[in-house]
Each structure stands twice: as C-alpha cells, then as structure tokens.
Amino acid sequence: MGVLENKFNDNIVVGSLDKFLSWSRSTSPWFFQFGLACCAIEMMATAAARHDLERIGMMPRSSPRQADVMIVAGTVTMKMALRVKKLYEQMANPKYVISMGSCATSGGPYWQHGYHVLKGVDLVVPVDVYVPGCPPRPEALIEGLLKLQQLISDERPLTRKLA
C-alpha cells in the first residue's frame, strides 16, 4: 500500500479495509450511560450544551445492547458489582470500558474503611481507559474519550495475528 499512496489526486483515498473499519468505529462510539454517583453528574454536564459530547460522535444510549462504550462513572459497590458484570456481558462486541473517576479506578476516597466498596471496577470487567479525578472535569473526560478513539483507530481487527 505504500506503493499506491500519494500517487493519485486529492479526491482519491487509498487504504486498507482494516484502517477504514477502525476509523469508522472510532469516530462514532455510542456510550452506555452508566452513571452511578457524583461522576454521573459530570458525565451529564459533559454531554450537555457547554462541553458537547455529540460533536465527537458520542451519543448516550440507555440500553447496553445498543452501546459500544461503557463509561463506569462513580463508585461501584459489592451489591452492584455483579450487575456491572452482567451489563458488560450484554454489550455486543467490539466493546470498550472507560473507568471514570477515582472511585471506579481504585476505590477512591473510600478505599480504606469501605467494606462495601469495590476497590476498582477492573476487578470485574476489563478496562481500556482510566480517567482520574474526583470528579474529573469535563475536559478531562473528553481527553479520556479522545485517547479511547486513538486506541480504537489503532486496532487492526481484520489482520490475523502471528502466533
């Protein structure tokens, strides 16, 4: 493909199927609004008028079966941990998880004496991007989402990996 690039006019784009697939996946990830606690308010504020999330392609969906990204925003408790796993399993592949806030990353301010707090959502679901903060500013969440977009567009889903 290096041979064919830049050989044509500007209105002809050459690329591999892999790259197009990753590019289209990364620019419209629909997120599953899984707001649990205070970080949910900042997630809503990020999706509202001032820091608009739809301009980077993210639309809130209420059902896990229609979403690509699950933003775990807030503290996950032991009672809720089993449900988080179930909801993650209901999402269709390819799926990604963003852990927003310090409670979802590692238990947050409740790590020491919180008997009922799950010390990090990565004990139950695999996480792709961690966004620290208590609560993280909307700008920080947008940076996390852009990193996720970078991660998705670097994937090559159709290339068979060498063993």
Partner 1 sequence: MGVIQGDQMVLNIGPQHPSTHGVLRLEVMTDGEIVSKITPHLGYLHRCFEKHSENVTYEQVIPYTDRCDYLASMNSNFGYVVAMEELMDIKVCERVEYVRVIMAELNRIASHLLGVGAYGLDVGAFTPFVHMLRDRERILDIFEYTCGARLLYNYMWVGGVSHDLPKDFKKICFKFLDYFEPKIDEYNQLLTYNKIFVERTADVGVLPADVAISYGVSGTNLRASGVKWDVRKEEPYSIYDRFNFDIPIGEAKFGTLGDCFDRYWVRILEMKESIKIVRQALKEIPEGDIFETMPKKIRPPKGSIYRRTESPRGDLGYYIESDGSPVPTRVKMRSPAFTALSCLDEISQGWMMSDVLCILGSLDIVLGEIDR
Partner 2 sequence: MNHSEIQSLIEEKFPNSLIANENLQGNQLEIDGQFWKDIATFLKNDPKLLFDQLECITGIDTGDDGPLQSRYNLHSMELRHKIEVIISLDRDNPTVESIEQIWRIGDWFERETYDMFGIVYEGHRDLRRILCPDDWEGWPLRKDYELQETYHGIMVPKVKEEEGWE
By CB neighbour count within 10 A (0-12 exposed, 13-18 middle, 19+ buried), where does 24 fall? Answer: exposed
Give the one entry of partner 2, partner 1, none that residue 7 binds, where binding means its C-beta sits below a cut-off of 5 to 8 angstroms depending on kind.
none
Rule CB under 8 A: say whether 45 interacts with partner 2. no
Side-chain-side CA neighbours of 150 within 13 Å: the count stands at 7
43 binds partner 1 (CB under 8 A): no
Residue 72 · residue 45 · CB < 8 Å: no
Query: At its nearest, how many Å lie between partner 2 and the CB of residue 139?
Result: 30
Q: Is residue 112 part of the contact set for partner 1 (CB under 8 A)?
A: yes
| Ramachandran area for residue 142 (φ above 0: left; ψ -120 to 50: alpha; else beta) | alpha
Secondary structure element (H or E) that encloses residue 153, with its range: helix 138-153
- Give the interface segment with partner 2, choosing from 15-23, 32-40, 61-69, 104-112 (CB under 8 A): 104-112
Rule CB under 8 A: say whether 79 interacts with partner 1: yes
Q: Which is nearer to partner 2, 85 or 137 (CB)?
A: 85
Binding to partner 1 by residue 163, rule CB under 8 A?
no
